[in-house]
Structure 1
C-alpha cells in the first residue's frame, strides 16, 4: 500500500484511491492519536471517545475492509476526524508504512494507544454465538470460571500471544517514538490487565520485575524465553507462572515492566498502563460485565490526563493503582 503526503489522494497498489485520509484538513494545533486494534470492541470505542473529545484519530486494524467499515460507522455517527490505516503489529513492513504515513501527513504523534491484543489461547467456543444474556445472575468469579472452561492453552497459541502482545506492541512503540517526541505532550497508553505481578508466585522473579531501576529489556527477553521453555516442558505451576491464560498474563506483566523502563528513559513523555476492566468483547467471549464503552472510558481517561501528569503508572478502572 502506497501513501502520499497531506492533501494528495492516497492510491493503493491496485490503483484504487482512498478518500478517507485526504478528507480531513488537520489544523496544526489538532492532537493526533493512533489506536491499534481499533475496528471493534474496546478499540473502536476508544476511537469514538477520542474523536468526540476533538482528537484526530488514526484507527488501525489488521483487516483493511473491517477497518474502513469501522471508520465509516464512526463518520455516520458524526465523527468526521477519523482516518483508517492498515496495521498488523507483528509485521515490520506494516508498522513502517504507518510510521511513514504519520510522518508525511502530520509530522508528529500526540497519543499512542496500544490496544491490539490477543488472549494467547485456543477458543473452544465461538464468540459470535454467545450473548450476554447467558451471564445474567453470574458474578465476576463465575464469569471467569466459565471463560476458563471455554479456552485451551497451547504452546503455539502462547508463543503467538507473546509475539503480539509484547513484541508487537514494543515494535510499534519503537517505530513511532520519534513522532511522539516531536509532540509537545506525547503520551503512550498501553492497555493492560489487572492480571499482573501478583499472579506470579515466584517471589524472586516478582521482585525482579518490580525493580525498574535495575530491569533491562534484555532481561525481559530472557524472562519470556524462560516462560515459553517452562510452558513447553509443562512446568508452569512448578516455576511460579500462572497456569490459566498464562501467556496473556505474562505478556501484560512484561509490557507493564517495559512501560516503566520507557517512562524512566523518556521523562519528556507520559507512558502509562491502563486496565479497562473485564469487558464484554469477542476476546472474553462476551462474558465481561462491563460494556466496551465503559472499558474504553477507563483507557481514554488515562490518555487525556492533564499535561505534565503522572508517568510510569498503572491505572485500574480509571484510577491509579499499584503494579504489584
Structure 2
C-alpha cells in the first residue's frame, strides 16, 4: 500500500485530502502540530470506515519536530510515496507590502515557505525509496505574478505577505522539479481554489472536499504526467 504524508491535515482542505486519498486505498499519515487534534481527525475518519489512517505529530516550522516525524515514518513504513505540503497560515490582516509588519511577513514565510522546504528536504530520502514519488505543494492563485500584474482587485492587497510566501513556494517547486528532472519524481504546485476554511473566515466559494479533488489529482499523477508545473482545476496556470 502506498503511503502519503499530508501536513496540516487535521482540518479543512488537508483533512478532506486525507479522506479522499484513504478512500482510494493509500495509507495516509495525517501530519498535525497538535497530536490530540490529529488523533481526533483519525477517529473521525475511522468512524467513516477508513482504517488506513494514522497520525504523525509534526510542526513544519520546527526542524527538530520535522526530523522526529521523519524518524517515526521511517520506522513505520521505511518509505514515503507522496508528500503533500498543505500546512499554511494566512497571517495577520491587512498585509500591504509597504506598510505591513515585517514580523508578520516572517511568520507567514516560516510556515508557508520555509516549513514546506525543510519538510521536503527532511523526507526526500524516504521519497527516493518509492518507485513513483510525488510531491504536491499546495499553493494559491495569489501566488501567480501574472495574476497580480493583470488584476485590478484592491482586496488582494490585504494578502500581500501570504501571496509572496506562496510565490516563493512556487519557485521552490520549479527549482526542485528541475533538480529531479531526470528521475521518477513528479513535483507540482496546485491551486485548490477559493475555499471556505478558517484561513479566510469561511468566506470561500467551495467546500474543502471540492478543493481537495485537484490536490488528489496531481498527487496521484502517472508517469506520463507533468512535473514542475502550476495547476488548478482548469489545468495549467501562468506563473
Fold match by TM threshold 0.5: yes
Partner of 2:50: 79
The answer to whether the Cα contact below 8 Å between 2:173 and 2:228 also exists between their aligned partners in 1 is yes
- Given candidates 274, 284, 304, the residue that maps to 2:200 is 284
The answer to whether the Cα contact below 8 Å between 1:33 and 1:58 also exists between their aligned partners in 2 is yes
- Cα offset for 1:158? 1.7
Partner of 1:130: none
Partner of 2:225: 309
Partner of 1:198: 146
Deviations along 1:287-317, one digit per CA (max 9) or x if unpaired, are 0010010001111111112233110011112
- Cα offset for 1:122? 4.4
**After superposition, where does 1:118-197 map in structure 2 within 5 Å?**
118-122=89-93, 153-195=100-142, 196-197=144-145
Whether 1:323 aligns to 2:230 is: no
Deviations along 1:218-256, one digit per CA (max 9) or x if unpaired, are xxxxxxxxxxxxxxxxxxxxxxxx742111101111110
Whether 1:59 aligns to 2:6 is: no
Partner of 1:9: none
- Segments of structure 2 that go 5 or more residues without pairing to the other structure are 150-155
In 2, Cα distance between equivalents of 1:253 and 1:274? 12
Partner of 1:5: none
Q: Secondary structure at the match of 2:200?
A: coil
Partner of 1:34: 5
How does the TM-score come out when normalised to structure 1?
A: 0.67
**After superposition, where does 1:287-298 map in structure 2 within 5 Å?**
287-298=203-214
- Segments of structure 1 that go 5 or more residues without pairing to the other structure are 1-29, 124-147, 202-241
- Given candidates 159, 181, 192, the residue that maps to 1:245 is 159
Partner of 1:230: none
In 1, Cα distance between equivalents of 2:23 and 2:71? 26
In 2, Cα distance between equivalents of 1:310 and 1:34? 21
In 1, Cα distance between equivalents of 2:207 and 2:174? 29
In 2, Cα distance between equivalents of 1:41 and 1:322? 23
Q: Secondary structure at the match of 2:74?
A: helix
In 2, Cα distance between equivalents of 1:154 and 1:293? 33
The answer to whether the Cα contact below 8 Å between 2:141 and 2:147 also exists between their aligned partners in 1 is no
How does the TM-score come out when normalised to structure 2?
A: 0.91
Q: Secondary structure at the match of 2:64?
A: helix
